[in-house]
Structure 1
Amino acid sequence: MQHAEGYVRSEIDHGIATIEFFHPSSNALPAIILEDLAKTINDIGIDDRVKVIILRSAGDKAFCAGASFDELVAISNDAEGKKFFSGFAHVINAMRKCHKLIIGRVHGKAVGGGVGLIAATDYAIATDSAAVKLSELAVGIGPFVVGPAVERKVGVSCFSQLAIDATEWRSAEWGKKHGLYAELHSNVEELDDAVKSLADRLAHSSPEAMWELKKIFWQGTDHWDTLLSDRAAISGRLVLSSFTKNAINAFKAKSVKS
Protein backbone atom coordinates (compact mmCIF):
# COMPACT_ATOMS: atom_id res chain seq x y z
CA MET A 1 0.00 0.00 0.00
CA GLN A 2 1.67 3.14 -1.29
CA HIS A 3 0.84 6.65 -0.08
CA ALA A 4 2.00 10.14 -0.94
CA GLU A 5 4.46 9.80 1.89
CA GLY A 6 5.46 6.31 2.87
CA TYR A 7 4.21 2.80 2.27
CA VAL A 8 3.67 -0.68 3.65
CA ARG A 9 4.73 -3.47 1.28
CA SER A 10 4.68 -7.22 1.56
CA GLU A 11 5.97 -10.12 -0.48
CA ILE A 12 5.93 -13.89 -0.08
CA ASP A 13 8.79 -16.12 -1.16
CA HIS A 14 9.14 -19.82 -0.32
CA GLY A 15 6.95 -19.57 2.77
CA ILE A 16 8.61 -16.38 4.06
CA ALA A 17 6.54 -13.18 4.11
CA THR A 18 8.46 -9.92 4.34
CA ILE A 19 6.55 -6.85 5.51
CA GLU A 20 8.36 -3.55 5.00
CA PHE A 21 7.26 -0.08 6.06
CA PHE A 22 8.71 3.29 5.13
CA HIS A 23 8.16 6.96 5.91
CA PRO A 24 10.50 9.79 4.88
CA SER A 25 10.56 11.15 8.45
CA SER A 26 12.92 8.46 9.80
CA ASN A 27 10.27 5.77 9.31
CA ALA A 28 7.76 7.51 11.56
CA LEU A 29 4.32 5.97 12.01
CA PRO A 30 1.41 8.17 10.92
CA ALA A 31 -2.11 6.77 11.22
CA ILE A 32 -2.29 5.49 7.65
CA ILE A 33 0.95 3.48 8.01
CA LEU A 34 -0.28 2.01 11.31
CA GLU A 35 -3.59 1.05 9.71
CA ASP A 36 -1.87 -0.60 6.75
CA LEU A 37 0.58 -2.44 9.02
CA ALA A 38 -2.21 -3.90 11.14
CA LYS A 39 -4.21 -4.96 8.07
CA THR A 40 -1.18 -6.51 6.37
CA ILE A 41 -0.18 -8.47 9.47
CA ASN A 42 -3.75 -9.69 9.94
CA ASP A 43 -4.05 -10.78 6.30
CA ILE A 44 -0.68 -12.53 6.15
CA GLY A 45 -1.30 -14.19 9.50
CA ILE A 46 -4.08 -16.29 7.96
CA ASP A 47 -2.36 -16.91 4.60
CA ASP A 48 -1.61 -20.63 4.33
CA ARG A 49 1.30 -19.94 1.95
CA VAL A 50 3.17 -18.21 4.77
CA LYS A 51 5.16 -20.05 7.42
CA VAL A 52 7.07 -17.14 9.00
CA ILE A 53 7.07 -13.33 8.81
CA ILE A 54 9.97 -10.84 8.67
CA LEU A 55 9.09 -7.31 9.80
CA ARG A 56 11.50 -4.61 8.63
CA SER A 57 11.67 -0.95 7.68
CA ALA A 58 13.31 0.63 4.67
CA GLY A 59 16.42 2.79 4.41
CA ASP A 60 19.75 2.60 6.17
CA LYS A 61 19.27 5.00 9.10
CA ALA A 62 16.53 4.80 11.75
CA PHE A 63 14.43 1.67 12.12
CA CYS A 64 11.48 3.69 13.40
CA ALA A 65 10.97 7.18 14.83
CA GLY A 66 7.65 6.35 16.48
CA ALA A 67 4.53 8.49 16.33
CA SER A 68 4.17 11.20 13.71
CA PHE A 69 4.67 14.56 15.43
CA ASP A 70 2.69 16.33 12.70
CA GLU A 71 -0.34 14.20 13.50
CA LEU A 72 0.15 14.48 17.27
CA VAL A 73 -0.01 18.29 17.25
CA ALA A 74 -3.07 18.21 14.98
CA ILE A 75 -5.14 16.19 17.48
CA SER A 76 -7.92 18.43 18.82
CA ASN A 77 -10.12 16.27 21.07
CA ASP A 78 -10.18 13.09 23.16
CA ALA A 79 -11.80 10.99 20.43
CA GLU A 80 -9.18 11.95 17.85
CA GLY A 81 -6.44 11.26 20.38
CA LYS A 82 -7.74 7.83 21.26
CA LYS A 83 -8.21 6.97 17.58
CA PHE A 84 -4.62 7.90 16.73
CA PHE A 85 -3.03 5.96 19.58
CA SER A 86 -5.34 3.03 18.90
CA GLY A 87 -3.37 2.61 15.67
CA PHE A 88 -0.42 1.39 17.75
CA ALA A 89 -2.75 -0.86 19.75
CA HIS A 90 -4.10 -2.46 16.58
CA VAL A 91 -0.60 -3.21 15.25
CA ILE A 92 0.62 -4.74 18.51
CA ASN A 93 -2.54 -6.81 18.87
CA ALA A 94 -2.26 -7.97 15.25
CA MET A 95 1.30 -9.11 15.95
CA ARG A 96 0.22 -10.79 19.19
CA LYS A 97 -2.63 -12.73 17.56
CA CYS A 98 -0.81 -13.52 14.31
CA HIS A 99 -0.58 -17.29 13.75
CA LYS A 100 2.98 -16.97 12.41
CA LEU A 101 6.19 -16.25 14.26
CA ILE A 102 7.44 -12.74 13.49
CA ILE A 103 11.16 -12.01 13.13
CA GLY A 104 12.12 -8.37 13.65
CA ARG A 105 14.93 -7.08 11.43
CA VAL A 106 16.21 -3.94 13.20
CA HIS A 107 18.92 -2.08 11.30
CA GLY A 108 18.98 1.18 13.27
CA LYS A 109 17.66 3.25 16.15
CA ALA A 110 14.09 3.04 17.39
CA VAL A 111 12.04 5.53 19.40
CA GLY A 112 8.71 5.21 21.21
CA GLY A 113 6.27 3.22 19.12
CA GLY A 114 9.18 1.75 17.20
CA VAL A 115 10.43 0.13 20.40
CA GLY A 116 6.93 -1.26 20.87
CA LEU A 117 7.06 -2.85 17.41
CA ILE A 118 10.38 -4.51 18.22
CA ALA A 119 9.05 -5.78 21.55
CA ALA A 120 6.00 -7.28 19.85
CA THR A 121 8.08 -9.39 17.48
CA ASP A 122 8.77 -12.95 18.53
CA TYR A 123 12.51 -12.81 17.79
CA ALA A 124 14.35 -9.56 17.10
CA ILE A 125 17.74 -9.47 15.35
CA ALA A 126 19.55 -6.13 15.27
CA THR A 127 22.74 -4.32 14.43
CA ASP A 128 25.08 -2.85 17.04
CA SER A 129 23.71 0.60 16.19
CA ALA A 130 20.10 -0.24 17.05
CA ALA A 131 19.81 1.88 20.21
CA VAL A 132 16.38 2.48 21.74
CA LYS A 133 14.59 5.26 23.60
CA LEU A 134 11.08 5.74 24.99
CA SER A 135 10.85 9.51 24.61
CA GLU A 136 7.15 9.98 25.38
CA LEU A 137 7.46 11.46 28.88
CA ALA A 138 9.75 14.17 27.50
CA VAL A 139 6.81 15.52 25.47
CA GLY A 140 4.21 15.18 28.23
CA ILE A 141 2.70 11.81 27.41
CA GLY A 142 3.97 8.30 28.20
CA PRO A 143 4.57 4.92 26.56
CA PHE A 144 1.14 3.71 27.63
CA VAL A 145 0.09 1.70 24.57
CA VAL A 146 3.48 0.12 23.81
CA GLY A 147 4.26 -0.31 27.52
CA PRO A 148 2.74 -3.77 27.96
CA ALA A 149 4.70 -5.14 24.99
CA VAL A 150 7.97 -3.61 26.17
CA GLU A 151 7.41 -4.66 29.79
CA ARG A 152 6.63 -8.21 28.68
CA LYS A 153 9.96 -8.40 26.87
CA VAL A 154 12.37 -6.63 29.26
CA GLY A 155 10.57 -6.68 32.63
CA VAL A 156 9.08 -3.98 34.83
CA SER A 157 12.42 -2.58 36.02
CA CYS A 158 13.93 -2.07 32.57
CA PHE A 159 10.65 -0.76 31.15
CA SER A 160 10.44 1.80 33.96
CA GLN A 161 14.05 2.87 33.32
CA LEU A 162 13.23 3.49 29.65
CA ALA A 163 9.99 5.28 30.46
CA ILE A 164 11.43 7.54 33.18
CA ASP A 165 14.79 8.41 31.60
CA ALA A 166 13.03 9.54 28.45
CA THR A 167 15.82 11.56 26.83
CA GLU A 168 18.65 9.03 26.97
CA TRP A 169 19.39 6.27 24.49
CA ARG A 170 19.93 2.70 25.63
CA SER A 171 22.47 0.87 23.48
CA ALA A 172 21.72 -2.18 21.38
CA GLU A 173 23.91 -4.14 23.78
CA TRP A 174 21.61 -3.02 26.61
CA GLY A 175 18.68 -4.26 24.53
CA LYS A 176 20.27 -7.66 24.05
CA LYS A 177 21.26 -7.96 27.70
CA HIS A 178 17.66 -7.38 28.78
CA GLY A 179 15.94 -9.54 26.17
CA LEU A 180 14.66 -7.00 23.66
CA TYR A 181 17.07 -8.36 21.05
CA ALA A 182 17.95 -12.02 20.59
CA GLU A 183 21.04 -11.35 18.47
CA LEU A 184 23.30 -8.42 17.53
CA HIS A 185 25.42 -8.13 14.40
CA SER A 186 28.11 -5.65 13.47
CA ASN A 187 26.71 -4.60 10.08
CA VAL A 188 23.63 -4.83 7.88
CA GLU A 189 25.07 -7.60 5.70
CA GLU A 190 25.54 -9.87 8.71
CA LEU A 191 22.11 -8.84 10.00
CA ASP A 192 20.45 -9.85 6.74
CA ASP A 193 22.32 -13.15 6.63
CA ALA A 194 21.16 -13.98 10.16
CA VAL A 195 17.55 -13.00 9.44
CA LYS A 196 17.49 -15.05 6.23
CA SER A 197 19.07 -18.06 7.92
CA LEU A 198 16.51 -18.12 10.74
CA ALA A 199 13.59 -17.46 8.39
CA ASP A 200 14.69 -20.31 6.10
CA ARG A 201 14.86 -22.71 9.04
CA LEU A 202 11.45 -21.68 10.31
CA ALA A 203 9.95 -21.94 6.82
CA HIS A 204 10.79 -25.65 7.00
CA SER A 205 9.38 -26.09 10.52
CA SER A 206 5.91 -27.28 11.49
CA PRO A 207 3.35 -24.44 11.23
CA GLU A 208 1.20 -26.13 13.87
CA ALA A 209 4.11 -26.46 16.28
CA MET A 210 5.14 -22.82 15.77
CA TRP A 211 1.57 -21.60 16.39
CA GLU A 212 1.28 -23.68 19.55
CA LEU A 213 4.61 -22.24 20.73
CA LYS A 214 3.50 -18.71 19.96
CA LYS A 215 0.34 -19.17 22.00
CA ILE A 216 2.53 -20.14 24.95
CA PHE A 217 4.88 -17.17 24.41
CA TRP A 218 1.90 -14.79 24.53
CA GLN A 219 0.03 -16.50 27.37
CA GLY A 220 -1.66 -14.06 29.73
CA THR A 221 -2.24 -11.33 27.12
CA ASP A 222 -5.82 -12.16 26.10
CA HIS A 223 -7.03 -8.96 27.78
CA TRP A 224 -4.81 -6.71 25.64
CA ASP A 225 -7.60 -5.73 23.23
CA THR A 226 -9.24 -3.89 26.12
CA LEU A 227 -6.03 -2.93 27.92
CA LEU A 228 -4.36 -1.26 24.94
CA SER A 229 -7.58 0.53 24.00
CA ASP A 230 -7.79 1.94 27.52
CA ARG A 231 -4.14 2.95 27.34
CA ALA A 232 -4.78 4.70 24.00
CA ALA A 233 -7.44 6.80 25.72
CA ILE A 234 -4.89 7.93 28.34
CA SER A 235 -2.40 9.01 25.68
CA GLY A 236 -5.17 10.60 23.65
CA ARG A 237 -6.17 12.76 26.61
CA LEU A 238 -2.64 13.76 27.59
CA VAL A 239 -1.64 14.77 24.06
CA LEU A 240 -4.18 17.61 24.23
CA SER A 241 -2.30 19.40 27.03
CA SER A 242 -0.55 22.68 26.36
CA PHE A 243 2.60 21.10 27.80
CA THR A 244 2.60 18.45 25.09
CA LYS A 245 1.72 20.83 22.25
CA ASN A 246 4.54 23.20 23.27
CA ALA A 247 7.04 20.38 23.81
CA ILE A 248 6.37 18.82 20.41
CA ASN A 249 6.51 22.15 18.59
CA ALA A 250 9.80 22.97 20.34
CA PHE A 251 11.19 19.59 19.35
CA LYS A 252 10.09 20.07 15.73
CA ALA A 253 11.67 23.52 15.61
CA LYS A 254 14.93 22.15 17.01
CA SER A 255 14.90 19.34 14.41
CA VAL A 256 14.46 21.84 11.56
CA LYS A 257 17.40 23.93 12.78
CA SER A 258 19.76 20.98 13.30
Structure 2
Amino acid sequence: MTAPYVKEEIINGISTIEFFHPAHNSLPGDILAKLAKTITEAGNSEEVKVIILKSGGDRTFCAGASFKELININDAGTGKVFFSGFANVINAMRKCPKFIIGRVQGKTVGGGVGVASATDYCMATKFASIKLSELNIGIGPFVVGPAVERKLGLSGMSQIAIDANSFYDAEWARQKGLYASVHESTEALDEAVQAFAENLCNYNPEAMKEMKKIMWAGTENWDELLAERAVISGRLVLSEFTKETLKRFK
Protein backbone atom coordinates (compact mmCIF):
# COMPACT_ATOMS: atom_id res chain seq x y z
CA MET A 1 0.00 0.00 0.00
CA THR A 2 1.34 3.43 -0.94
CA ALA A 3 2.07 5.69 2.03
CA PRO A 4 0.29 9.08 2.25
CA TYR A 5 2.16 11.95 0.58
CA VAL A 6 2.12 15.50 -0.73
CA LYS A 7 4.48 16.06 -3.66
CA GLU A 8 5.23 18.90 -6.04
CA GLU A 9 6.71 18.94 -9.51
CA ILE A 10 7.57 22.19 -11.33
CA ILE A 11 7.90 22.02 -15.13
CA ASN A 12 7.98 25.11 -17.39
CA GLY A 13 6.39 27.39 -14.81
CA ILE A 14 3.62 24.94 -13.87
CA SER A 15 3.65 23.63 -10.30
CA THR A 16 1.68 20.38 -10.00
CA ILE A 17 0.85 19.66 -6.37
CA GLU A 18 -0.49 16.17 -5.68
CA PHE A 19 -1.80 14.74 -2.39
CA PHE A 20 -2.59 11.11 -1.66
CA HIS A 21 -3.90 8.92 1.13
CA PRO A 22 -4.75 5.21 0.78
CA ALA A 23 -8.10 5.79 2.56
CA HIS A 24 -9.78 7.39 -0.49
CA ASN A 25 -7.55 10.46 -0.26
CA SER A 26 -8.94 11.46 3.12
CA LEU A 27 -6.86 14.17 4.74
CA PRO A 28 -5.32 13.74 8.21
CA GLY A 29 -3.73 16.71 9.98
CA ASP A 30 -0.16 16.10 8.87
CA ILE A 31 -1.14 15.89 5.18
CA LEU A 32 -3.28 19.04 5.48
CA ALA A 33 -0.33 20.90 7.04
CA LYS A 34 2.02 19.76 4.26
CA LEU A 35 -0.53 20.73 1.63
CA ALA A 36 -0.98 24.25 3.06
CA LYS A 37 2.81 24.70 3.26
CA THR A 38 3.42 23.42 -0.30
CA ILE A 39 0.72 25.72 -1.74
CA THR A 40 2.17 28.73 0.12
CA GLU A 41 5.70 27.98 -1.09
CA ALA A 42 4.56 27.52 -4.71
CA GLY A 43 2.74 30.85 -4.46
CA ASN A 44 5.95 32.55 -3.33
CA SER A 45 8.22 30.85 -5.89
CA GLU A 46 9.62 33.00 -8.70
CA GLU A 47 9.70 29.91 -10.90
CA VAL A 48 5.97 29.17 -10.64
CA LYS A 49 3.41 30.89 -12.88
CA VAL A 50 0.38 28.67 -12.28
CA ILE A 51 -0.55 25.78 -9.95
CA ILE A 52 -2.42 22.54 -10.68
CA LEU A 53 -3.90 20.87 -7.60
CA LYS A 54 -4.70 17.17 -7.91
CA SER A 55 -4.92 13.97 -5.92
CA GLY A 56 -3.38 10.58 -6.58
CA GLY A 57 -5.24 7.43 -7.57
CA ASP A 58 -7.94 6.96 -10.20
CA ARG A 59 -11.11 7.18 -8.20
CA THR A 60 -11.93 9.45 -5.26
CA PHE A 61 -10.59 13.01 -5.45
CA CYS A 62 -10.89 13.49 -1.69
CA ALA A 63 -12.97 11.78 1.00
CA GLY A 64 -12.63 14.77 3.35
CA ALA A 65 -11.51 14.62 6.97
CA SER A 66 -9.62 11.61 8.28
CA PHE A 67 -12.16 9.38 9.99
CA LYS A 68 -9.49 7.80 12.17
CA GLU A 69 -8.47 11.19 13.58
CA LEU A 70 -12.08 12.36 13.91
CA ILE A 71 -12.97 9.40 16.10
CA ASN A 72 -10.03 10.10 18.45
CA ILE A 73 -10.93 13.73 19.29
CA ASN A 74 -11.64 13.89 23.02
CA ASP A 75 -11.36 17.59 23.89
CA ALA A 76 -12.29 20.94 22.35
CA GLY A 77 -8.67 22.04 21.82
CA THR A 78 -7.82 18.95 19.77
CA GLY A 79 -11.06 19.41 17.84
CA LYS A 80 -10.21 23.00 16.98
CA VAL A 81 -6.71 22.03 15.81
CA PHE A 82 -8.10 19.17 13.71
CA PHE A 83 -10.71 21.30 11.92
CA SER A 84 -8.23 24.15 11.49
CA GLY A 85 -6.30 21.86 9.10
CA PHE A 86 -8.87 22.45 6.35
CA ALA A 87 -9.10 26.15 7.27
CA ASN A 88 -5.32 26.49 6.76
CA VAL A 89 -5.43 24.82 3.32
CA ILE A 90 -8.34 26.99 2.16
CA ASN A 91 -6.64 30.15 3.45
CA ALA A 92 -3.35 29.17 1.77
CA MET A 93 -5.23 28.77 -1.53
CA ARG A 94 -7.08 32.06 -1.05
CA LYS A 95 -3.89 34.03 -0.32
CA CYS A 96 -1.76 32.33 -2.98
CA PRO A 97 -0.95 34.99 -5.64
CA LYS A 98 -1.03 32.39 -8.46
CA PHE A 99 -4.12 30.90 -10.06
CA ILE A 100 -4.83 27.38 -8.80
CA ILE A 101 -6.44 24.97 -11.27
CA GLY A 102 -8.32 22.09 -9.66
CA ARG A 103 -8.23 18.66 -11.31
CA VAL A 104 -11.03 16.51 -9.86
CA GLN A 105 -11.00 12.96 -11.23
CA GLY A 106 -13.72 11.41 -9.03
CA LYS A 107 -16.07 11.72 -6.10
CA THR A 108 -15.37 14.33 -3.49
CA VAL A 109 -16.86 14.52 -0.01
CA GLY A 110 -16.99 17.02 2.87
CA GLY A 111 -13.67 18.82 3.23
CA GLY A 112 -12.77 17.71 -0.30
CA VAL A 113 -15.64 19.81 -1.66
CA GLY A 114 -14.14 22.73 0.25
CA VAL A 115 -10.72 22.17 -1.33
CA ALA A 116 -12.24 21.95 -4.85
CA SER A 117 -14.25 25.12 -4.14
CA ALA A 118 -11.14 27.05 -3.08
CA THR A 119 -9.43 26.51 -6.47
CA ASP A 120 -9.68 29.41 -8.91
CA TYR A 121 -10.70 27.28 -11.88
CA CYS A 122 -11.83 23.69 -11.47
CA MET A 123 -12.14 20.94 -14.08
CA ALA A 124 -13.56 17.47 -13.49
CA THR A 125 -14.62 14.15 -14.99
CA LYS A 126 -18.26 13.07 -15.21
CA PHE A 127 -17.55 10.78 -12.22
CA ALA A 128 -16.79 13.75 -9.95
CA SER A 129 -20.00 13.90 -7.93
CA ILE A 130 -19.99 15.85 -4.67
CA LYS A 131 -21.47 15.39 -1.20
CA LEU A 132 -21.38 17.42 2.03
CA SER A 133 -21.90 14.58 4.51
CA GLU A 134 -21.05 16.39 7.76
CA LEU A 135 -24.61 16.58 9.10
CA ASN A 136 -24.73 12.77 8.94
CA ILE A 137 -22.31 12.52 11.86
CA GLY A 138 -23.75 15.38 13.86
CA ILE A 139 -21.54 18.25 12.76
CA GLY A 140 -21.88 20.56 9.73
CA PRO A 141 -19.72 21.94 6.91
CA PHE A 142 -18.75 24.94 9.02
CA VAL A 143 -15.10 25.36 8.03
CA VAL A 144 -15.53 24.64 4.31
CA GLY A 145 -18.92 26.36 4.12
CA PRO A 146 -17.65 29.83 3.14
CA ALA A 147 -15.56 28.42 0.26
CA VAL A 148 -18.41 26.20 -0.97
CA GLU A 149 -20.94 29.03 -0.68
CA ARG A 150 -18.62 31.34 -2.63
CA LYS A 151 -18.74 28.88 -5.56
CA LEU A 152 -22.23 27.34 -5.38
CA GLY A 153 -24.13 30.28 -3.88
CA LEU A 154 -26.00 30.06 -0.58
CA SER A 155 -28.85 28.12 -2.19
CA GLY A 156 -26.62 25.41 -3.71
CA MET A 157 -24.50 25.10 -0.58
CA SER A 158 -27.58 24.85 1.66
CA GLN A 159 -29.10 22.19 -0.58
CA ILE A 160 -26.15 19.81 -0.41
CA ALA A 161 -25.40 20.59 3.26
CA ILE A 162 -28.96 19.74 4.36
CA ASP A 163 -29.30 16.74 2.01
CA ALA A 164 -26.23 15.19 3.61
CA ASN A 165 -26.89 11.64 2.32
CA SER A 166 -26.93 12.42 -1.39
CA PHE A 167 -24.25 12.72 -4.02
CA TYR A 168 -24.90 15.52 -6.53
CA ASP A 169 -23.53 14.70 -9.96
CA ALA A 170 -20.77 16.53 -11.80
CA GLU A 171 -23.21 18.17 -14.20
CA TRP A 172 -25.13 19.69 -11.26
CA ALA A 173 -21.82 20.98 -9.86
CA ARG A 174 -20.94 22.45 -13.27
CA GLN A 175 -24.28 24.22 -13.60
CA LYS A 176 -23.85 25.70 -10.11
CA GLY A 177 -20.38 27.01 -10.99
CA LEU A 178 -18.04 24.66 -9.08
CA TYR A 179 -16.69 23.03 -12.25
CA ALA A 180 -15.79 25.03 -15.34
CA SER A 181 -15.89 21.91 -17.51
CA VAL A 182 -16.73 18.20 -17.18
CA HIS A 183 -14.85 15.56 -19.19
CA GLU A 184 -15.64 11.98 -20.24
CA SER A 185 -12.45 10.43 -18.85
CA THR A 186 -9.42 11.13 -16.67
CA GLU A 187 -7.24 11.16 -19.81
CA ALA A 188 -9.43 13.85 -21.40
CA LEU A 189 -9.40 15.80 -18.13
CA ASP A 190 -5.60 15.67 -17.89
CA GLU A 191 -5.20 16.91 -21.46
CA ALA A 192 -7.60 19.79 -20.83
CA VAL A 193 -5.95 20.77 -17.53
CA GLN A 194 -2.45 20.69 -19.03
CA ALA A 195 -3.45 22.74 -22.09
CA PHE A 196 -5.24 25.27 -19.88
CA ALA A 197 -2.26 25.62 -17.52
CA GLU A 198 0.19 26.02 -20.42
CA ASN A 199 -1.99 28.75 -21.90
CA LEU A 200 -2.12 30.63 -18.56
CA CYS A 201 1.69 30.66 -18.50
CA ASN A 202 1.59 33.02 -21.51
CA TYR A 203 -0.26 35.73 -19.56
CA ASN A 204 1.17 38.57 -17.52
CA PRO A 205 1.83 37.23 -13.96
CA GLU A 206 1.16 40.70 -12.51
CA ALA A 207 -2.24 40.84 -14.20
CA MET A 208 -3.14 37.37 -12.90
CA LYS A 209 -2.03 38.32 -9.38
CA GLU A 210 -4.22 41.46 -9.42
CA MET A 211 -7.16 39.49 -10.83
CA LYS A 212 -6.85 36.92 -8.09
CA LYS A 213 -6.92 39.67 -5.44
CA ILE A 214 -10.11 41.09 -6.92
CA MET A 215 -11.79 37.69 -7.27
CA TRP A 216 -11.20 36.93 -3.59
CA ALA A 217 -12.20 40.42 -2.38
CA GLY A 218 -14.49 40.24 0.64
CA THR A 219 -12.77 37.18 2.13
CA GLU A 220 -10.10 39.11 4.04
CA ASN A 221 -11.68 38.06 7.36
CA TRP A 222 -11.43 34.33 6.62
CA ASP A 223 -8.43 33.77 8.93
CA GLU A 224 -10.68 34.69 11.87
CA LEU A 225 -13.93 33.35 10.38
CA LEU A 226 -12.63 29.86 9.60
CA ALA A 227 -10.91 29.67 13.01
CA GLU A 228 -14.27 30.47 14.64
CA ARG A 229 -15.93 27.82 12.48
CA ALA A 230 -13.28 25.26 13.52
CA VAL A 231 -14.25 25.91 17.16
CA ILE A 232 -17.92 25.14 16.36
CA SER A 233 -17.00 21.85 14.66
CA GLY A 234 -14.58 21.01 17.48
CA ARG A 235 -17.38 21.48 20.02
CA LEU A 236 -19.98 19.49 18.07
CA VAL A 237 -17.66 16.55 17.45
CA LEU A 238 -17.63 16.02 21.24
CA SER A 239 -21.44 15.90 21.45
CA GLU A 240 -23.13 12.70 22.60
CA PHE A 241 -24.87 12.44 19.22
CA THR A 242 -21.62 12.56 17.24
CA LYS A 243 -19.73 10.23 19.59
CA GLU A 244 -22.50 7.61 19.28
CA THR A 245 -22.73 8.03 15.49
CA LEU A 246 -18.96 7.68 15.04
CA LYS A 247 -19.00 4.47 17.11
CA ARG A 248 -21.63 3.03 14.75
CA PHE A 249 -19.60 4.00 11.67
CA LYS A 250 -16.49 2.46 13.19
TM-score (norm 2): 0.98
2:153 aligns with one of 139, 152, 155: 155
Query: How is 1:198-209 mapped onto 2 (pairs within 5 angstroms)?
Result: 198-209=196-207
After superposing on structure 2, the runs of 4+ consecutive aligned residues of structure 1 that deviate more than 2 Å are none
Per-residue CA deviations over 1:93-123 (Å, capped at 9, x if unaligned) read 0000001000000000000000000000000
Instruction: Find the partner of 2:55 among 40, 54, 57.
Output: 57
Q: CA deviation at 1:242?
A: 2.1
Cα distance in 2 for partners of 1:249, 1:82 equals: 20
Supply the distance in 2 between the matched residues of 1:60 and 1:218 (Cα, whole angstroms).
Answer: 31
- Give, in angstroms, the shift of residue 243 of structure 1: 1.3
Q: CA deviation at 1:79?
A: 0.4
| Counterpart in the other structure of 1:112 | 110
Q: Please give the secondary structure, in 1, of the residue aligned with 2:226.
A: helix
Which amino acid is the alignment partner of residue 145 of structure 1? V
Distance 2:107 2:245 in 1: 22
The separation in 2 between residues aligned to 1:85 and 1:78, in whole angstroms, is: 11
Q: Counterpart amino acid of 1:215? A: K
- 1:176 paired with 2:174, answer yes
Counterpart of 1:191 in structure 2 is 189
Find the counterpart in structure 2 of residue 24 from structure 1.
22
* Paired AA for residue 166 in structure 1: A
**d(CA) in 2 for partners of 1:250, 1:15:** 47
Structure 1: runs of 5+ lacking an equivalent: 253-258
SS of residue matched to 1:29? coil
Secondary structure of the 2:53 match is strand
Provide the residue aligned with 1:34 in structure 2: 32
In the TM superposition, 1:117-128 aligns within 5 A as 117-128=115-126
State percent identity of aligned pairs: 61
CA displacement, residues 121-178 of structure 1 (integer Å, 9 cap, x when unaligned): 0000000000000000000000000000000001000000011000000000000000
**Could you tell me how far apart the structure 2 residues matched to 1:245 and 1:157 are?**
30
Tell me the equivalent position of 2:100.
102
- Matches of 1:7 and 1:76 in 2, distance apart? 26
Cα distance in 2 between the residues matched to 1:72 and 1:188: 31
Alignment partner, residue 67 of structure 1: 65
Displacement of 1:180:
0.5
Aligned with 1:18: secondary structure? strand
1:86 equivalent in structure 2: 84
Residues paired across the two proteins, number: 249
The one-letter code of the counterpart of 1:82 is K
CA distance in 2, matches of 1:85, 1:121: 19
* Root mean square deviation, CA, Å: 0.8
Secondary structure of the corresponding residue to residue 24 of structure 2:
coil
- Amino acid paired to 2:83: F
Structure-1 residue corresponding to 2:232: 234
Q: Partner of 1:11: helix, strand, or coil?
A: strand
Unaligned runs of 5+ residues in structure 2 are none
Q: Name the counterpart of 1:255.
A: none
Shift of 1:246: 2.0
Deviation at residue 247 of structure 1 after TM alignment: 1.4
Query: Which residue type is aligned with residue 107 of structure 1?
Result: Q
SS of alignment partner, residue 211 of structure 2: helix
Residue 190 of structure 1 deviates from its aligned partner by: 0.5
3-state SS of the aligned residue for 2:38? helix
